[in-house]
Structures are given as structure tokens and as C-alpha cells.
């Protein structure tokens, strides 16, 4: 299966399935169409027994995914119904990746921010080049961050580091990301491609059923506890999207100025 649309490139390379977020002019900012296209791309590789590992990466040299495509927010994340639909599609794609049966690897070079970091955290393994940077800037926009995305962050770096990353909305360099456990492997520009290649070859040579079962067992340990009211959590997230601060965040971004938040 090899397909290319405006924003997603889906390729089979031997035993590997490659999904490339393809909008380098906007640092591969995650669009609604990218979210929607991710599910069928994953499904096609799932159905192909020859594919042993799936790689997610960004086009160009500057970004994995630089976050959500904020230019779409006025149209796709303004009204309550539009936000709910965006969240439905986004969370569906996120869960399809997080619960995927085959090994998944995020090949990260450059910006890995916001929703892009969440995509990387849905993957099993993150391999980054040392020019990469990471952050969750939700607090700078006033938008809500879904509970499953918070789960992904907490299970990878722990509560203390998750609080630091989320509350500060600061940018982390690749070395700090490695120390926190946000990524598992780090290489410099000269050795990055070799590091990725060697890791993919290692995964592809292992027993597929063993890896599948192991993934399922590990994911069970990472589930949101059953006593958590998921609808209540979603309602909390939606209060952010309904707030004056969210409107101010979008407006400030469009006007290229610092937002003035009021907590309402």
C-alpha cells in the first residue's frame, strides 16, 4: 500500500509501514484530515501480515509534528459541536495508534509539540535526533487537553515530570527529554538514520505474536482506572473550549501577540 494525499504519505517499505505527516511548510502541523487519515492507514498495515512494524515521522528536516494546525481552529474548534466532532475524530485516531497491535516507532526530527508529542507518546518507542524539541503548550492557548493524552504523558514520564511539562508549557531539548524518559533513544545528526534503521531491523526480526501479546499486557497496566468518570473528565476538558480564555488564545495567536488570560 503506497498512497499520498496532500498531508499524509502512507508507504510500505518491505516489512515496515511508514506514515509521514506531510506539510513541512507548516512544520507538519496536525490537521483534521491528518487525524482522519491516520485510522485507515493504520488499518491497512494491520491487515498486511508482511508488515512487522509501523513508523510515524514528519516530512522535511524541521519537524515531526509541531502541534495542531491552529489556523483551522476558527472553523473546526470554535462552536461546541465543532469541538466535539474534532475531539471525536482526534481521540479515535489517537486510540487506534495507542492500542495498535504491531510495534510502532516515532522517528522524531525537529519540533515535537502539543498534539505531535501526544502522537509520539501513543507510539511504543520514540527515537529522536538531537536537534529535536518537545513541549505541550496547551496553557498558552487556553484549550483543553483530553484525559487519554494526559494518561499518555503521565505513564511515560511520571506525575512529577508530567506536571512540570504541562503546567510550565516550556520547551524541552532532546537531552532533557531523554533524561525524563520522554524519548527512549537519542542520536546526533550523523548517526540518526543508522540508529533508526538498526532499531527497526531489530523489531522486524522478532516474533510478531510475542510482541503483540506483550504490547497488550503492558497496555493493560496503563489503562485509566475504572473508577475514573470519563464523561466527567470530558466535560471538564470542554469547559476550557467554552471559555473566554480559549477565544482569547485563538485571537492572540492570529494577531501574533501574547494572550491576556482571565481565568474564565
Q: How far apart are CA 243 and CA 97, in angstroms?
A: 30
What one-character DSSP code corresponds to residue 168? H
42 alpha-carbon distance from chain centroid: 14
| The CATH homologous superfamily of the domain defined by 3-189+207-211 | 2-enoyl-CoA Hydratase; Chain A, domain 1 (3.90.226.10)
Largest CA distance in the chain: 54
Q: Which set of grid coordinates corresponds to residue 183?
A: 524519548
Q: Map out the domains of the chain as residue ranges.
A: 3-189+207-211
Q: What is the pLDDT of residue 128?
A: 98
Burial-class residue 255 by CB neighbours within 10 Å (0-12, 13-18, 19+).
exposed
Q: What is the pLDDT of residue 70?
A: 65
Per-residue pLDDT of the chain (264 residues; tens, 9 = 90+): 565 557 999 999 999 999 999 999 999 998 888 999 999 999 999 999 999 999 999 999 999 999 876 666 555 555 677 777 777 888 889 999 999 999 999 999 999 999 999 999 999 999 999 999 999 998 888 888 888 899 999 999 999 999 999 999 999 999 999 999 999 999 999 999 999 999 999 999 999 999 999 999 999 988 887 777 888 888 888 888 888 888 888 787 777 888 888 888
Amino acid at each position: 500500500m503506497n498512497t499520498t494525499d496532500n498531508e499524509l504519505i502512507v508507504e510500505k517499505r518491505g516489512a515496515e509501514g511508514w506514515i509521514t505527516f506531510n506539510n513541512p511548510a507548516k512544520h507538519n502541523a496536525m490537521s483534521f484530515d491528518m487525524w482522519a487519515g491516520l485510522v485507515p492507514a493504520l488499518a491497512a498495515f494491520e491487515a498486511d501480515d508482511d508488515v512487522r512494524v509501523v513508523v510515524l515521522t514528519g516530512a522535511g528536516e524541521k519537524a515531526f509534528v509541531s502541534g495542531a494546525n491552529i489556523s483551522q481552529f476558527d472553523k473546526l474548534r470554535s462552536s461546541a459541536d465543532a469541538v466535539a466532532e474534532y475531539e471525536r475524530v482526534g481521540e479515535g485516531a489517537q486510540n487506534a495508534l495507542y492500542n495498535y497491535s504491531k510495534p510502532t516507532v516515532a522517528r522524531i526530527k525537529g519540533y515535537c509539540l502539543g498534539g505531535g508529542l501526544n502522537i509520539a507518546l501513543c507510539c511504543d518507542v520514540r527515537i529522536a535526533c538531537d536537534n529535536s524539541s518537545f513541549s505541550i503548550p496547551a496553557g498558552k492557548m487556553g484549550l483543553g487537553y483530553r484525559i487519554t493524552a494526559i494518561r499518555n504523558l503521565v505513564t511515560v514520564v511520571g506525575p512529577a515530570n508530567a506536571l512540570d511539562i504541562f503546567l510550565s508549557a516550556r520547551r524541552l531539548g532532546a537531552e532533557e527529554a531523554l533524561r525524563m524518559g520522554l524519548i527512549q533513544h537519542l542520536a546526533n545528526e550523523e548517526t540518526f538514520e543508522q540508529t533508526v534503521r538498526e532499531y527497526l531491523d531489530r523489531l522486524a526480526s522478532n516474533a510478531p505474536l510475542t510482541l503483540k501479546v506483550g504490547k497488550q499486557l503492558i497496555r493493560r497496566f496503563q489503562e485509566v482506572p475504572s473508577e475514573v468518570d470519563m464523561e466527567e473528565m470530558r466535560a471538564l476538558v470542554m469547559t476550557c473550549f467554552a471559555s473566554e480564555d480559549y477565544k482569547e488564545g485563538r485571537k492572540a495567536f492570529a494577531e501574533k501577540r501574547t494572550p491576556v488570560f482571565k481565568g474564565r
